[in-house]
């Protein structure tokens, strides 16, 4: 089973966008469950407006994370994606870090944004000392279409203790338009193709 948390204490970095599309992409290949841990329930609200059936199951757990529950109910998912609340200071997040195999940390492509995740990196390293299996990777989000990472950002990434996936998520209107309809980029026509290719590449990296 793949057990992956999408985590960052900052809001607006793309946790929910990435969780939803990552789960939908995985669901093309394996039974997938998306767990919404945000008390604001963004992912659940999104799922509730879905105009077409979603490829994955969505479960809202506002009361906190129970590592045993998701696999105890219903079909056994082979992939569980956890969309985390924008905080580090909760038992929920500590529980998540202790339970999952991988964390993906969305960051915007600016060194300042990266350094603001330093405290998160420390929490992840602490969890890695307890649980040797935990793997952590940064995922750059909202990269300008057609432009490369700035050299300042590349330098900052090299100094950061957590490695990044080589695929980045570009800034694309289709991520916003699908979210507004409660859909994912895996459920739209050709205008979703570049975004799907991006998420399939991310999934290939995550699975290795
Ligand atoms: N790659 C992207 N391209 C375009 N818009 C994006 C992208 N990623 C996120 N957004 C938009 O940015 C806003 C914040 O994203 P969201 O996933 O809600 O962040 P978080 O869950 O970390 O608070 C949303 O309006 C979302 O549609
Ligand atoms: Mg969110």
CA neighbor of 101 nearest in space, from 67, 136, 140, 129? 136
pLDDT of residue 76: 83
Nearest ligand (C-alpha, residue 43)? 2
Nearest ligand (C-alpha, residue 39)? 2
| Overall domain count for the chain | 1
100-122 per-position pLDDT tens digit:
999 999 999 999 999 998 889 99
Distance from C-alpha of 18 to C-alpha of 130, rounded to nearest angstrom: 27
**Ligand 1, residues at Cβ distance < 6 Å:** 11-17, 42, 141-142, 169, 171-172, 175-176, 179
CB 119 within 8 A of CB 22: no
180-201 per-position pLDDT tens digit:
999 999 999 999 999 999 999 9
Q: How far is the CA of 17 from the centre of ligand 1 (A)?
A: 5
Distance from C-alpha of 161 to C-alpha of 27, rounded to nearest angstrom: 31
CB 1 within 8 A of CB 124: no
Q: CATH no. for residue 67? A: 3.40.50.300
Query: Within 10 A of 147 (CB to CB), how many other CB atoms are there?
Result: 10
77-98 per-position pLDDT tens digit:
999 999 998 988 788 888 899 8
Structure tokens at 3: 């057990």
Q: How far is the CA of 8 from the centre of ligand 2 (A)?
A: 10
CA neighbor of 163 nearest in space, from 128, 144, 139? 139
Distance from C-alpha of 203 to C-alpha of 208, rounded to nearest angstrom: 9
Q: Which domain holds residue 123?
A: 2-207
Q: How far is the CA of 121 from the centre of ligand 2 (A)?
A: 19
Cα–chain-centroid distance for residue 16? Answer: 7
């Amino acid at each position: 089973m793949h057990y992956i948390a999408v985590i960052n204490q900052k809001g607006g970095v793309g946790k929910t966008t990435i969780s939803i599309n990552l789960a939908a992409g995985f669901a093309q290949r394996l039974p997938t469950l998306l767990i919404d841990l945000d008390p604001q329930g963004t992912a659940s609200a999104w799922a509730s407006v879905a105009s077409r059936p979603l490829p994955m199951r969505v479960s809202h757990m506002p009361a906190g994370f129970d590592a045993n529950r998701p696999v105890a109910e219903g079909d056994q998912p082979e992939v569980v994606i956890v969309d985390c609340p924008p905080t580090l200071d909760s038992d929920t997040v500590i529980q998540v870090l202790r339970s999952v195999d991988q964390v993906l940390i969305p960051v915007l492509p600016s060194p300042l944004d990266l350094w603001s995740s330093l405290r998160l990196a420390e929490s992840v390293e602490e969890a890695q000392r307890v649980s040797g299996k935990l793997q952590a990777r940064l995922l750059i989000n909202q990269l300008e279409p057609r432009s490369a990472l700035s050299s300042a950002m590349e330098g900052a990434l090299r100094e950061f203790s957590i490695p990044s996936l080589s695929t980045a998520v570009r800034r694309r209107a289709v991520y916003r338009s699908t979210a507004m309809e409660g859909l994912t980029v895996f459920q739209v026509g050709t205008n979703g193709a570049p975004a799907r290719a991006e998420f399939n590449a991310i999934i290939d990296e995550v699975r290795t």
